[in-house]
Amino acid sequence: MGQGQIHRSLLSGRNVMETPGALGIDYIDAARLLPWLATSGAHPLAVISYGAPVPDPLGCPVLTLDLPQLDARPMLEVWTSRTPVRSHHHAGLSVSVNGEMLAGFLHAEEEPGISLEVTTAGAYRRLLREIRELGYPHLWRLWNYFPRINEERAGLERYRQFCVGRYDALADSLSDFPLSLPAATAVGTASGPLQIYFLAGVTSVTHVSNPRQVNAYDYPASYGPRSPSFARATLYRRDHGTQLFIAGTASVVGHASQHPGLPVEQTRETLTNLRALLRQAEPLSEGNISGSPGVYKVYVRHPSQLAAIRRTLRDPLFESSRLLFLQGELCRQELLVEIEGLVTSDC
Ligand code: 3EB
């Protein structure tokens, strides 16, 4: 199928604005996915597996990340829309749209002899072209996954190579760069291609800084030749509420990593960073962000530290929230834990 055909069929789905939409993220017991989908009334944008088996066929993109789940029963992550969804797949890129937002999933194999920097820049250029052509030009949220994130290659850590490619593509073609950069995550998988997941929208969003942290796009050059391109959080305000997309948040104050080697202290520092971010977002939100339910993903570098990290996270901040624990490598060697989230408030 040619790309032109894909675009026309997705564009024709843009008449579905009857009810206010929001991204739903649910964690569903793998064995219960089909009955859940049949009864929830939600339209799936995608299903993400961390190793749990996925029933077939689902009629929406199914993605797999090699980030082993560390707790509880095997769960599937389901992204849903309240309004009908159209999905298409073409040459490593799956896209689901509902007239309001676009969920995209891009897989780029790393070819021998081609640097991660070049692979990343190519993937980002394609992503940006695609969202513009489909009429969802505003980037809302980005997730980046690739293996061996801390490995040094040709004198530069792979995370830093990734940052160069991402920066080059975004700085070239994102208007109002770097202020328009959305919240993001970059985590190392145990295996697999470069996987970039993204949300984009018809309307613009508001990006939020963390008063305890330097904006990542202003990090000094000691962290790499090009700064990491992301915002600490992104707010999507709807008619009847707000969604806050919280970027990967770690034990970083100013621009410096805190508490090397100490998982409990890093977890506490991360909680303090999350509280500061929520306070910053509160006056910009419709409804009450701090008291609203969230879904949080906790990336843990060493499974042996899970119990201590988990204990430290028994905190009122997560009172009405769901936490999923995954094993992943974080983009600075000394970081042991990182937390991202999505908080949805209705008013
Ligand atoms: C930090 O604060 C921790 O490069 O996209 C967190 C979230 C981090 C996203 C990214 C990096 C990224 O710098 C690392």
Q: How would DSSP label each residue in 271-314?
A: HHHHHHHHHHHGGGSSS-STTS-EEEEEEES-GGGHHHHHHHT-
pLDDT in the model for residue 347:
65
Grade residue 78 by pLDDT with cuts at 50, 70 and 90: very high
Q: Is the pLDDT of residue 238 over 90?
A: no
Closest-lying ligand 1 atom to the alpha carbon of residue 340: 7
Average pLDDT score over residue span 157-178? 97
Q: pLDDT tens digits, residue range 179-215?
A: 999 999 999 999 999 999 999 999 999 999 999 999 9
pLDDT in the model for residue 171:
98
pLDDT in the model for residue 21:
61
Structure tokens at 347: 């008013």
Q: pLDDT tens digits, residue range 277-332?
A: 999 999 998 778 888 999 999 999 999 999 999 999 999 999 989 999 999 999 99
Average pLDDT score over residue span 29-54? 93
**CB neighbour list of residue 122: distance below 8 Å, 6 or more residues apart:** 108, 165, 169
| Alpha-carbon gap, residue 198 to 189, rounded angstroms | 17
Report the nearest-CA residue for atom 14 of ligand 1.
331
Average pLDDT score over residue span 227-248? 94
Q: Is the pLDDT of residue 11 over 70?
A: no
| Alpha-carbon gap, residue 166 to 184, rounded angstroms | 12
Q: Is the pLDDT of residue 108 over 70?
A: yes
- 4-13, 68-77, 176-185: least confidently modelled range: 4-13
Closest-lying ligand 1 atom to the alpha carbon of residue 142: 5
Helix, strand and coil content of the chain, in percent to the nearest 5, comes to 25, 35, 40
Report the nearest-CA residue for atom 13 of ligand 1.
216
Average pLDDT score over residue span 137-144? 98
| Alpha-carbon gap, residue 318 to 199, rounded angstroms | 24
Ligand 1 centroid–CA 243 distance in Å is 20
Helices (H), 96-189: 116-133, 158-173
Ligand 1 centroid–CA 250 distance in Å is 8
Grade residue 222 by pLDDT with cuts at 50, 70 and 90: very high
Confidence (pTM): 0.94
Closest-lying ligand 1 atom to the alpha carbon of residue 247: 7
